[in-house]
Structure 1
C-alpha cells in the first residue's frame, strides 16, 4: 500500500486555508457526537426502550422486515421512520388500510411518538453539552473572507449550531422569515447574494435533514402543509404540529417537498459556483442522494476542492471505491488517506515539520494517528493556524 506524507498534506491544507477566499462546510452527525450527543445507533436503542407497549408490536414488524431485506446493514431509527412514512402515504393514514399489518393511522401515531422521543433525548443531551468548541469554530468561520457568502450545510437536526451562533452574536440565515411563526421562503435560498447586499456577510445555515425547531403546520382546507420554525418548546408532548426531522430519502409528498429539495438544489449550485474549498466533518457518506450531488459536482467543477475528515479508517475504506479518478478530493482518516486518487497509509516524519511547526494539533505520536477526524481537534487546528487565535478566544468567551 502507498505511503502518504501526512506532514506534506497538512502543509498543503494550511496553504489552502490561507489563500482560498471561498470556504464552505458540511457538518454531519459526527460533529454533534463529538460534543456528547447520541449517535444514530444510540438513538435507535433509546427510542425503542421508550415506546409505549401498544406501539412496540408495529415497531418490531417494520424493524424485522427491514432487517430481513438488508441483513448486512444495521437498521436505524431513520430507516424505520422512513418506512412508517411510506405506509402513511400509501394508506392515506386511514385506519382501514394497512401494509404489512400496520394500518395508516397507527403508522402516523408511532411516527409522531418516535419523533417526540427523539426530541426529548436530543434536547436533554444538548442542554448539558459544552458549546465551547462550536463557538470557537463559528467565531473562526465568521472571520473568513467577506467577499463570499459563508455557507454551512448539515444533516444534524439538533440546535447546537443555532445556539452557538447566537451566543457569539454572529448573524445567520436559514431560509425562514417572520417573527410569530417564521415560514420557509424558497426564493431566499435560491437567490444569489450580491456584494452590496446587507446580508452578504451573514452565515447561511442549510439544515437538509430538518430540525428540532421545525414543525409541519397543516391546512385543513387545502389538505397541504407548510414548515414553520418555532422557538423554545417547553413540552413537546403538548405540541400539536409534527416535528420536521428525518425526511424520507424517497419521493416526497407534493405538499412536503420544501424545504428539502430546495436545500439540495442549493448544495448543487454552491458546489458548482466556481473556486471553492468545501470541508466535510462528521459525515459518513451513507446518504446516496447527497453523495450523488457531491461526486457530480467534483466532475463538473475543476475549481472545487473537497476535503473530508473521517473519525475512523473504515469510513476511508468505504469511500475508496468511489474516489478513483477524483484529483480534487482529499480524504483524511486516522491512519489511512486518499490523496490525488491514491489510497494509502499515513507516513509521519518529524524532520518534515519546519522549525516553527508543531504536530500536536493534528498528530498523536502515541497511537500514530491523525486527530482531525475528531471535530474538537479539527476546530483547535483551524483556530491555531488562523493567525487570529487571541481574537477568536475573546469572542468565544464573551457572554
Structure 2
C-alpha cells in the first residue's frame, strides 16, 4: 500500500516558501474566516455560504417597506425569487446562486415589462438590498492581532524576496486588508487614487510595482468596491456608499463595466500560474467554482513547471457506521471533495492535502511518515498528529488493539498560520547560524 510522507511534504513546503526567486502565491477562500478563533457564542467571525444564505433570508424577512412600482414587500419578492431559483434545479440554493440568478434576470429585464413575475425596478431593488445585507454581515474586524491573517501578513513582512508575493481571494470581506494595514505591510489591490480610488487596468497587467509590495487580488469583488452612475468602478475608504456594490458571486455575463475588474483579475491568476516554477497555495477553497477551476487547470496544463497545492479542511473520506434493521453494521464511505479529487487525480501538478489523505502527482494515498521517529524541528507547527484507532472485532466492536493513523492539519487555516509564524523564526535563526 502506498503512503504520502507528511514530514517530507512539510519540508518541501518550507523549502518552497524560502526560495526568494520562485513566484509564490496564496489563494484565500471562503473557509478561511472560520479559522479565526472567537469568544464563546461569537463564532464564526464570518459564516460559511450556507450560514450567510440563512442570515440574508432572515434579514430580508424583517423588511416591511413596500416598493412603489410593484406594491409588494421586499420579503415577499425575495421568497418568490428563491422559488424561481429552485425551479432551475438548485434544490437548496445558496446566496451565491440567488444573486447570480437575480443578476441574470436583471440583464434580460431591461426594456421588458415583466420577467417571471418581476419588474425591472423590483429586481434592481432586490439586488441592492441583497448586496447591502451581505456587506453588513461581512463588515467585521479581526478580534486581535494573533489571527491566521496576521500570521500570513507577518510572514510576508519578514521575508526578503526578488519576486513579490501575490494573494488571490474570492472573499468580499476586508480581513486581509485589516491584517496588512495593522502591521504596516504595503500592498496593491489594483486601485490608485485618494478621493475615489479607481481600478488601474494597466498597473494590474504590467506589474510595475515595488517587489516589497504584496499584490492582493480580490477576484470576486469586495464590500468596499462600487459602481458609480457613470459606470466607473471605484474603491471607497468607507462602507457608506450609495452606488451599486461590485460583488461577483460567480462568473457572470454582466455589463461590461462590472466585468472589467473580474476579467482582469482572473487573467492575473492565469498569468501568475504561467510563470516558470510558480507555486500557488490554496486555503479554504472547495473547488465549487467551475470558472475558477477552468482557469487554474488550463494554466497548469499549459505550464507543467507550475504547482498548485490545495490545503483542504477536514478528511477527504468520511466513514459512517450504522446498524440496519437486522442489527448488522452497514459502512458508508463519502468523498467530501469529489470535484477536487477528480481534478487532482488527472493533473499531476495539482495536489490536494486533506487531514487524512492527499493526492500528490495524481496518486491518492493516506498520510504516513517514512520514519517512525521525527522531532519538532521536522514537524513544523506540530501539523502532523498521531491518532490511535481501536481495531474492531467481527461484530464491529472496539478491541484493545489499536493502529496508528496520521493526520496532516495544514488544511486548517489556523494551523497554516502557525506554520508560517514558525517559519519566520526558523529562517531568521538559520540566517544567524550561517552568519549572513
1:291-311 Cα shifts (integer Å, max 9, x gaps):
111111111112211111000
- Asked if the contact 1:157–1:212 (Cα under 8 Å) also holds between the matched residues in 2, the reply is yes
Match in the other structure for 2:347: 326
* Residue 384 (1) aligns with residue 422 (2): yes
Match in the other structure for 1:132: 146
Cα offset, 1:171, TM superposition: 0.8
Give the RMSD, CA atoms, in angstroms: 2.3
* Residue 144 (1) aligns with residue 152 (2): no
* Residue 347 (1) aligns with residue 368 (2): yes
Cα offset, 1:331, TM superposition: 1.1
- Asked if the contact 2:7–2:378 (Cα under 8 Å) also holds between the matched residues in 1, the reply is no
Matches within 5 A, 1:200-279: 200-219=211-230, 225-233=231-239, 236=240, 239-279=241-281
Match in the other structure for 1:395: none
Greater Rg over alpha carbons, structure: 2
The 3 A distance-change label for structure 1 pair 167 and 388 is farther
Instruction: Say which structure, 1 or 2, has more relative contact order (CA 8 Å, 6+ apart).
Output: 1
Cα offset, 1:12, TM superposition: 2.6
- Asked if the contact 1:173–1:205 (Cα under 8 Å) also holds between the matched residues in 2, the reply is yes
1:17-63 Cα shifts (integer Å, max 9, x gaps):
33463211111011122222111111100110111241222222232
* Residue 98 (1) aligns with residue 114 (2): yes
The 3 A distance-change label for structure 1 pair 64 and 285 is same
- Asked if the contact 2:154–2:421 (Cα under 8 Å) also holds between the matched residues in 1, the reply is no
- Asked if the contact 2:20–2:161 (Cα under 8 Å) also holds between the matched residues in 1, the reply is no
SS at match of 2:226: strand
* Residue 75 (1) aligns with residue 88 (2): no
Match in the other structure for 1:11: 11
- Asked if the contact 1:316–1:333 (Cα under 8 Å) also holds between the matched residues in 2, the reply is no
SS at match of 1:200: coil
Q: 2:171 aligns with which of 145, 153, 156?
A: 156
Match in the other structure for 1:357: 378
- Asked if the contact 1:142–1:203 (Cα under 8 Å) also holds between the matched residues in 2, the reply is no
Q: Whole-Å Cα distance in 1 between the matches of residues 250 and 281 of structure 2? A: 25
Q: Whole-Å Cα distance in 2 between the matches of residues 360 and 240 of structure 1? A: 45
TM-score (ref. length: structure 2): 0.80
- Structure 1 gaps of 5+ residues are 220-224, 392-399
* Residue 24 (1) aligns with residue 43 (2): no
- Structure 2 gaps of 5+ residues are 37-44, 65-72, 317-334, 389-405, 430-436
The 3 A distance-change label for structure 1 pair 108 and 136 is same
TM-score (ref. length: structure 1): 0.87
